[in-house]
């Protein structure tokens, strides 16, 4: 590994560019200068903090600490999914739906990757487990958030159609079928596009990072392919699970459309 370490001075040079952008925004009256500075400060503080957390975790390899870290990551991702919904499910479901689906998909796929594919010892070695889980959660979260948002918005807008189908004696699953399919598709398409464009349009971040850190390009590429496959499986499964639970929750035991279970947005 021939990693060039960055000094504080190097980072401040890059920070100057952000400052410059902020000044430019002020001059052009974009109304973004404050936001740029705050976002840049957040990046710095959040990443520094996670840096310290990772450092501590790497030094104390323990399943308990790893699980705690994984749960915190899951909770934040669940909160993010909820925050991105216009018409969110009321009560516990608003948070639990996305979190459960992410737990099922991201955790299963990460666990599979760690134990069967990467085969590190112990399997919860933070150096592998945290970046893998992080990338899984980050991408699954987006898929689920997009899919759920589409589902709830479509159900909200097309409730008369859903009810018209129920009135004709269709089952709930049939009545919401086309909406559910469209929503799953919209949740999965960004990930499929990312796979199709990888390496041609964009160089994926993780691979770039590994190459910067001095890893041989072909090794980095293999890891990137692994990640892309894991992410697509995780996002696909997570989106399907979340939209399955979500559509189920939109109806009650008498198969009535319960739009009152969504917030009015």
Q: Which of 87, 88, 165, 180 binds another protein (CB under 8 A)?
A: 165
d(CA 161, CA 175): 8
CB of residue 250 to another protein, shortest distance in Å: 14
Is residue 228 a contact partner of residue 161, using CB atoms and an 8 Å limit? no
Rounded Cα–Cα distance for residues 243 and 163 (Å): 19
Query: What residues between 140 and 159 interact with another protein by CB under 8 A?
Result: 158
- The radius of gyration computed from the CA coordinates of the chain, to the nearest angstrom, equals 22
Query: Which residues in the 225-254 window bind another protein by CB under 8 A?
Result: 252, 254
- Of 5, 31, 169, 264, the one binding another protein (CB under 8 A) is 169
The alpha helices in the chain, defined as continuous H runs, are 8-27, 33-59, 63-83, 92-102, 108-112, 126-157, 159-167, 172-175, 177-197, 205-212, 217-249
* Binding positions for another protein, 170-209, rule CB under 8 A: 170-171, 178
- Under a CB-based contact definition with an 8 Å cutoff, are residues 258 and 166 in contact? no
Smallest separation, CB 52 to another protein (Å):
52
Q: In angstroms, what is the minimal distance from the CB of 137 to another protein?
A: 35
Residue closer to another protein by CB (options 64, 169) is: 169
Residue among 167 and 196 whose Cβ is closer to another protein: 167
| Nearer to another protein among residue 59 and residue 253 (C-beta) | 253
1 in Cβ contact with 213 (< 8 Å)? yes
Nearest to 69 by CA among 122, 120, 129, 17: 129
Which of 134, 127, 146 is closest to 74 using CA atoms? 134
Q: Which is nearer to another protein, 133 or 250 (CB)?
A: 250
Q: Does 90 sit near another protein (CB under 8 A)?
A: no
Question: Is residue 136 within 8 Å of residue 234, measured between CB atoms?
Answer: yes
Of the pair 60, 256, the CB lying nearest another protein is at 256
CB of 165 to another protein, least distance (A): 7
Q: Which of 161, 206, 215, 221 binds another protein (CB under 8 A)?
A: 161
256 binds another protein (CB under 8 A): yes
User: Is the distance from CB of 141 to CB of 190 less than 8 angstroms?
Assistant: no
Of 1, 4, 168, 201, the residue at the interface with another protein (CB under 8 A) is 168
Q: CB-side exposure of 122: number of CA atoms within 13 Å?
A: 10
Considering beta carbons, is residue 100 or 170 the nearer one to another protein? Answer: 170
CA angle 200, 203, 206 (to 5 degrees): 145
**How far apart are CB 248 and another protein at their closest, in Å?**
15
- Contacting another protein (CB under 8 A), which of 58, 63, 255, 265? 255
Nearer to another protein, 42 or 185 (CB): 185
Let me know: does 36 contact 18? Beta carbons within 8 Å: yes
Positions touching another protein (CB under 8 A) are: 158, 160-161, 163-171, 178, 252, 254-257
């Amino acid at each position: 590994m021939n990693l060039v370490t960055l000094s504080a001075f190097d980072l401040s040079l890059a920070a100057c560019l952000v400052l410059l952008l902020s000044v430019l925004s002020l001059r052009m009256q974009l109304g973004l200068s404050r936001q740029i500075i705050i976002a840049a400060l957040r990046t710095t503080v959040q990443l520094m903090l996670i840096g310290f957390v990772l450092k501590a975790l790497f030094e104390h390899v323990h399943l308990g600490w790893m699980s705690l870290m994984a749960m915190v990551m899951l909770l934040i991702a669940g909160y993010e999914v909820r925050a991105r919904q216009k018409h969110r499910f009321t009560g516990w479901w608003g948070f639990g739906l996305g979190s459960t689906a992410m737990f099922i998909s991201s955790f299963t796929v990460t666990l599979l990757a760690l134990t069967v594919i990467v085969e590190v010892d112990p399997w919860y070695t933070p150096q592998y487990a945290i970046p893998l889980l992080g990338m899984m959660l980050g991408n699954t979260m987006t898929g689920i958030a997009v899919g759920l948002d589409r589902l709830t918005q479509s159900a909200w807008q097309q409730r008369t159609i859903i009810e018209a189908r129920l009135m004709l004696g269709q089952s709930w699953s049939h009545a919401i079928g086309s909406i559910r399919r469209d929503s799953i598709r919209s949740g999965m398409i960004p990930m499929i596009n990312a796979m199709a464009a990888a390496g041609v349009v964009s160089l994926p971040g993780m691979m770039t990072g590994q190459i910067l850190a001095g890893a041989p390009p072909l090794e980095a590429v293999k890891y990137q392919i692994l990640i892309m496959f894991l992410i697509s499986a995780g996002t696909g499964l997570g989106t399907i699970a979340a939209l399955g639970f979500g559509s189920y929750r939109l109806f009650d035991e008498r198969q009535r459309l319960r739009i009152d279970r969504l917030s009015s947005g």
